[in-house]
Amino acid sequence: MNAFYIFFRNRINLFIGGAIVLLFILMAVFAPVLAPYHPVDDANLMVAEQPPDGEFWFGTDSQGRDILSRVIYGSRISLSIGLVTQLINTIIGIILGVTAGFFGKWWDDLVMGLTSIMLSIPSLIFALAVMALLGPGLVNVFIALGLTNWAYTCRIARSQVLSARSLDYVTAARALGYSRARIMFEQILPNILGPILVIGTLGIAYAILIEASLSFLGLGTQPPNPSWGGMLSNAREQFFTAYWISIFPGIAIFLTVLGFNLLGDGLRDVLDPHSVLKHQK
């Protein structure tokens, strides 16, 4: 019982964050079932800017569309962008980081130079520059964010490979005649996935924030498709007269980012052996 209490106390961020993330994932998957109205087609100017009540739990916007339905459908865009773009970033970071740490020499210098350049440019500024070249739109958001946040994963992967490439199991793999690609991606990579997974989880939250910022500026998902950032942008002029139009998508962004941050923090506690030893003392 004491062991279970210690485990739960030290993993509470993992449980809370996982529960929040699971809730939003289920909301996105079952959006057609959960949403009481269609987020675009069911517009009625007769009930425009109606405050929350028994019929419209989150109220309606300036077009008479149900805010709750638009928040539910907006989770599909935010989660898909966060998951897909971070997956792209993780793949790029792993390939560059693992090869740089394993081969070293000029390739390591080149990759670290590119990483330093990417880390010196704020992600939002880089994404804005890419969107300025490609133009607004959901597909272009995937491209822009998929090339934005790989530098952290790259550096973590490289440092882990530098520590692992001199270990006994790598030496044994070399002695058995394994190819360098097999050693990197079959022997080393599975043993360094813990920190990469943590960085990836935190990166999803950051990608959701960047997407909301782009949509707020009119460069992300284009209306009338529901997007949390776009909903905030459209509600700027009605903030003092119809606060509910902006407060509910803002809460959705806050809770989603909080959930992924707590999940990443909890995964770090689970996967970091130093953290485990610290909690057990």
- Positive/negative CA dihedral, 232, 234, 239, 243: negative
**pLDDT-derived band at 185, boundaries 50, 70, 90:** confident
Band of the pLDDT at 137, cuts 50, 70, 90?
confident
Q: What distance in Å separates the CA atoms of residue 100 and residue 126, rounded to the nearest whole number? A: 24
What topology is assigned to 62-280 in CATH?
MetI-like fold (1.10.3720)
Structure tokens at 177: 């005649």
End-to-end CA distance of the chain: give it in Å, rounded: 17
Instruction: Examine the pLDDT at 224 and tell me if it is beyond 70.
Output: yes
CA-derived radius of gyration, the chain: 22
Q: State residue 274's pLDDT score.
A: 53
Burial of 281 (0-12, 13-18, 19+ CB in 10 A): exposed
pLDDT exceeds 90 at position 24: yes
The three-state secondary structure class of 42 is: coil
Residue type, 189: L
Tokens standing for residue 115: 């990483």
User: What does the block give as tokens for 182?
Assistant: 């097999």
For all residues of the chain together, what is the average pLDDT?
Answer: 84
Give the range among 2-11, 102-111, 151-160 with minimum mean pLDDT.
2-11
Tell me which amino acid residue 258 is: L
Residue 242, Cβ neighbours under 10 Å: how many?
20
Q: Encode pLDDT of 68-100 as tens digits.
A: 999 999 999 889 988 999 999 999 999 999 999
Detail the DSSP E strand segments found in the chain.
none
Q: Quick one: three-class SS letters along 116-182? A: HHHHHCCHHHHHHHHHHHHCCCHHHHHHHHHCCCCHHHHHHHHHHHHHHCCCHHHHHHHHCCCCHHH
Segment among 5-19, 88-102, 145-159 with least mean pLDDT: 5-19
* pLDDT, average across residues 138-151: 86
* Residue 6 pLDDT grade (very low, low, confident, very high; cuts 50, 70, 90): very low
Residues 6+ apart with CB under 8 A from 158: 96, 97, 98, 100, 101, 108, 111, 112
DSSP annotation of 238 reads G
Model confidence, pTM: 0.84
Q: Rounded mean pLDDT of 104-119?
A: 90
For 48, the 3-state DSSP assignment is coil
Residue 227: both structure tokens together = 């997007």
Is the pLDDT reported for residue 1 higher than 50?
A: no
CA distance 261 to 264: 5
Q: In the chain, where are the structural domains located?
A: 62-280
